Amino acid sequence: MFRFGKRKPRSKVGKLIDQHGYTQEEFGSASGISRNTIRRVCSDPKYVPSAGVLKKIMKAVRSIDAGAKADDYFNL
């Protein structure tokens, strides 16, 4: 069904990778996180990952934004 003007919600991480031209697959490869988790990280603004997943995500985020902090992207 076509919905004019409607977009899927994006998290701060999702917006970051969109702005820099990365795909979820590329980000997943860079972080070593499963496709399902990456999908959730990028599309669910309320998602809070476990400590181990957060560490992997932030390592990949910092390859794009060197000064990034976890609090910038997640409500911890």
- Over residues 31-75, the pLDDT tens digits come to 999 999 999 999 999 999 999 999 999 999 999 999 999 999 998
SS3 12: helix
d(CA 59, CA 50) in angstroms, rounded, equals 14
The string of DSSP codes covering 43-73 is H-TT----HHHHHHHHHHHHHH-TT--HHHH
pLDDT of residue 7: 67
Q: Count CB-CB contacts under 10 A for residue 27.
A: 23
| pLDDT of amino acid 2 | 47
pLDDT at 5 over 70: no
Instruction: Tell me if 40 sits within 8 A of 47, measured CB to CB.
Output: yes
